[in-house]
Amino acid sequence: MRIIFLGPPGSGKGTQAHLISNKYNIPNISTGMMLRQSFPKDPYQSHKIRKNIINVMHTGNLVNDDFMVQLINTRINKNDCYNGFLLDGFPRTILQAEFMKKYKIFVNYVIEFVISDSTVINRITGRRIHINSGRTYHIQFNPPKICGLDDITGESLTTRKDDCEQTIRKRLHNYHQYTEPVLNYYRHESKSKKIQYFSIDANRKITEIYKELISLLINK
């Protein structure tokens, strides 16, 4: 099972990706999380490069396509991806989507999370992250059992620097400009029946969205 989750920041992709990857025992590959973590053994991740990438992300801009495709290509060739994977937020540009096709990185499902910009802004300002695992919480919609602490480890949660409103608006602008064409790309690809494309309402409760995802992945 090879899945792509696409949608604007704050649409709930990360939360659902964590649930679905656990359900089907496939790796949850979040490009945002990969970029925020340190990979000292990766030749593409020198300290200077990583610092530049973090600066780009904090301003709401997109990381260079060449770097991203190298990062993903390295990741999906690891043994744990043999039986499938879930790409959370990749590809973000047409060039990245074409890279996947060129290198025969095929997927079964593309699922679009649909949500308004105003809802995204309200959601993200309340988001809290467990840095080491990537687990995501929200102070209103998905609060941790103990305020400010991760449910599993008990470690402190944090607010990402790129979750301020100014940066969110920039990220939304880039999503509409660069990633929405990718949605059209996969809608067209789905006509071949090799890819199944679905749009889901991301304004609902986490449990409701999860149940719909399961039904789509099982019954279609």
Q: What is the pLDDT of residue 183?
A: 96
Q: What is the mean pLDDT of residues 159-176?
A: 86
Q: What is the token pair recorded at 101?
A: 């096709």
Which residue carries 């396509």 as its tokens? 65
CA 162 – CA 124 distance, rounded (Å): 10
Q: What is the pLDDT of residue 37?
A: 57
Is the pLDDT assigned to residue 55 strictly greater than 80?
A: no
CA 193 – CA 189 distance, rounded (Å): 8
Q: What is the pLDDT of residue 214?
A: 95
Q: Kindly report the CA angle at 158 between 201 and 125, in degrees rounded to 5?
A: 45
Pick the range with the lowest mean pLDDT from 9-13, 19-23, 61-65, 121-125. Answer: 61-65
Q: What is the pLDDT of residue 34?
A: 66
Mean pLDDT of the chain: 84
Q: What is the pLDDT of residue 40?
A: 46
CA 19 – CA 86 distance, rounded (Å): 11
Q: What is the mean pLDDT of residues 176-186?
A: 94
**N- to C-terminal Cα separation, the chain:** 13
Tell me which DSSP letter residue 114 carries. Answer: E
CB contact set of 128 (below 8 Å; sequence gap of 6+): 136, 137, 138, 139, 144, 148, 157, 158, 159
Sequence letter at residue 116: S
Query: Which has more confidence, 9 or 200?
Result: 200
Whether domain 2-115+173-219 has CATH 3.30.420.40: the reply is no
Query: Which has more confidence, 163 or 198?
Result: 198
Maximum C-alpha span of the chain = 48
Whole-model pTM? 0.75
Q: What is the pLDDT of residue 62?
A: 59
Tell me which DSSP letter residue 116 carries. Answer: -
pLDDT in tens, 90-145: 998 998 898 888 888 889 999 999 999 999 998 888 889 998 888 888 888 789 99
Identify any residues that bridge with 136 across adjacent strands, giving them in sequence order.
129
Buried b (16+ CB within 10 A) or exposed e, 58-78: eebebbebebbbebbeebbee
Pick the range with the lowest mean pLDDT from 55-59, 171-175, 206-210. Answer: 55-59
At 79 the three-state DSSP class reads helix
Kindly list the domain boundaries of the chain, sorted by start residue.
2-115+173-219
Pinpoint the alpha helices (H) of 59-148.
65-76, 94-102, 117-124
Pick the range with the lowest mean pLDDT from 71-75, 94-98, 146-150, 208-212. Answer: 71-75
